[in-house]
Homo-oligomer: A and B are copies of this chain.
Amino acid sequence: MEIKVIKDVLEANNYIACKVKEEIAKRQAMMINIIGSPGAGKTSFIVKTIQYLDIKSVVIEGDVTSDIDSRKVAEFGIPVVQVNTGGGCHLNANIIDLALQELSSSAENAIIFVENVGNLICPASFDIGEDFKVAVSSLPEGHDKPYKYPAVFEKARATVLNKIDLKRHVEFDRDSFYEGVKTLNPDGYIFEVSSLLGDGIKEWIQWLKQQFMRKLNH
């Protein structure tokens, strides 16, 4: 009984996700679904990326409650919409559909960064109409995250290892992390960055621009 309902919810979600994908294609935009634990540094990563990026960008901030992250983004003059799930542990396509209407023409010819609710589990199961997912994990969380929360790392086109500025202060087995990600996702890309200092952001940006150009040329 329970399983049947979950299936219906997923089906309804996927239907709206298709609608969102069409809308994004029509707008000549690309949407990235950014997933990570609470405190992985998703917001700082998004802001640092947009600061280095010479492509128009907008942000959809997902949270259970509060507008802390969207205020942080707005401080940098970046167009942003906050969406709150009111207790829900992931974003769904419906809320993104509404956010796109709100963003209107600012989300045309642009990269749309969606920061999902801080959670390594549930967001992996819900397509929100994105072009691809990016997993954000941070050094202080430990190298075992791909083994313990495989779904996100398996589905992400790129994994970002954030907060590498802390490498001398926390224990982290880099080889084990890479092996975990690569076993789940042999074709996935891994970028090591410090959103605080900007280390590694340029390599990530270069790859991101390629993804955008490739989409527009198809």
Contacts and interface: CB of A to CB of B under 8 A. Distances in A.
Interface residues of A, number: 37
A149 B64 contact: yes
Contact of A151 (B37, B69, B87): B87
What is the predominant secondary structure among interface residues of chain A facing chain B? loop
A129 interface: no
A39 B170 CA distance: 12
Nearest to A5: B5
Interface string A137-162: 01011101101111100000000000
Contacts of A140: 39, 138, 140, 163, 166, 170
Interface stretch (A49-57, A99-107, A119-127, A205-213): A119-127
A69 B147 CA distance: 11
Given A5-B5, A140-B39, A166-B169, A65 B118 contact: no
Contacts of A183: none
Contact of A118 (B1, B37, B87): B37
